[in-house]
Amino acid sequence: MTDDIFEDAEFETLAVRAGQVRTNEGEQSEPIFPTSSYVFKNAAQAAARFKGDEPGNIYSRFTNPTVRTFEQRLAALEGGESCVATASGMSAILATCMALLKAGDHVVCSRAVFGTTVVLFNNYLMKFGIEVDFVDLTDLDGWQQAIRTNTKLLFVETPSNPLTQLVDIQALAEIAHNRNCLLVVDNCFCTPALQQPLKLGADVVIHSATKYLDGQGRCVGGAVVGDAERVGKDVYGFLRTAGPSMSPFNAWVFLKGLETLKLRMHAHSDNAQALAEWLEEQPQVEKVYYPGLASHPQHDLSKRQQSRAGGLLSFVLKGGQAAAWKLIDATQMVSITANLGDTKTTVTHPATTTHGRLTDEQRADAGISDGLVRIAVGLESITDLKADLTRGLETL
Ligand X SMILES: *Cc1c(COP(=O)(O)O)cnc(C)c1O
Residues whose CB is less than 8 angstroms from the CB of residue 82 and which lie 6 or more positions away in sequence, other chains included: 71, 75, 225, 226, 227, 228, 231, 232, 236
Binder of ligand X out of 18, 69, 80, 114 (CB under 6 A) = 114
The candidate with the shortest Cα–Cα distance to 308, out of 259, 276, 266, is 266
Note whether 90 binds ligand X by CB under 6 A: yes
For ligand X, the closer CB: 66 or 117: 117
Helix axes 261-280, 248-259, angle to 10 degrees: 70
Q: Is 299 exposed, middle or buried (0-12, 13-18, 19+ CB in 10 A)?
A: middle
Stretch of 142-150, 205-213, 265-273, 384-392 lying at the interface with ligand X (CB under 6 A): 205-213
> What span, in angstroms and rounded, lies between the C-alpha atoms of 308 and 174?
24
Stretch of 85-93, 126-134, 225-233, 244-252 lying at the interface with ligand X (CB under 6 A): 85-93
Q: How far is the CB of 88 from ligand X (least distance, A)?
A: 3
For ligand X, the closer CB: 192 or 392: 192
> What span, in angstroms and rounded, lies between the C-alpha atoms of 326 and 359?
23
Binder of ligand X out of 112, 137, 188, 301 (CB under 6 A) = 188
Q: How far is the CB of 186 from ligand X (least distance, A)?
A: 5
Note whether 213 binds ligand X by CB under 6 A: no
Note whether 371 binds ligand X by CB under 6 A: no
Residue 376, helix vs strand vs coil: strand
Stretch of 84-92, 133-141, 316-324, 365-373 lying at the interface with ligand X (CB under 6 A): 84-92
From residue 137 to residue 176, what is the string marking binding to ligand X with x (rule CB under 6 A)? --------------------x-------------------
Ramachandran assignment for 89, one of left (phi > 0), alpha (psi -120 to 50 degrees), beta (any other): alpha
Stretch of 44-52, 88-96, 140-148, 236-244 lying at the interface with ligand X (CB under 6 A): 88-96
Instruction: Give the chain's radius of gyration (CA, Å).
Output: 22
Binding residues for ligand X, how many (CB under 6 A)? 13
Binder of ligand X out of 58, 220, 242, 396 (CB under 6 A) = 220
Note whether 210 binds ligand X by CB under 6 A: yes
Residue nearest to ligand X (CB): 89
Binder of ligand X out of 186, 234, 342, 370 (CB under 6 A) = 186
Q: How far is the CB of 176 from ligand X (least distance, A)?
A: 19
> What span, in angstroms and rounded, lies between the C-alpha atoms of 209 and 87?
9
For ligand X, the closer CB: 49 or 264: 264
Residue 69, helix vs strand vs coil: helix
Q: How many CB atoms within 10 Å of residue 211?
A: 23
Backbone angles phi, psi at 281, to 5 degrees: -90, -10
For ligand X, the closer CB: 77 or 90: 90
> What span, in angstroms and rounded, lies between the C-alpha atoms of 169 and 157?
10
The order of strands in the sheet holding 106-110 is: 82-86, 222-226, 204-208, 182-186, 151-157, 106-110, 131-135
Note whether 208 binds ligand X by CB under 6 A: yes
Strands (DSSP E) contained in 266-311 are 285-289
Stretch of 14-22, 174-182, 208-216, 345-353 lying at the interface with ligand X (CB under 6 A): 208-216
Binder of ligand X out of 65, 159, 222, 291 (CB under 6 A) = 222
Q: How many CB atoms within 10 Å of residue 52?
A: 8
Q: How far is the CB of 91 from ligand X (least distance, A)?
A: 7
Which residues of this chain interact with ligand X, rule CB under 6 A? 88-90, 114, 117, 157, 186, 188, 208, 210-211, 220, 222
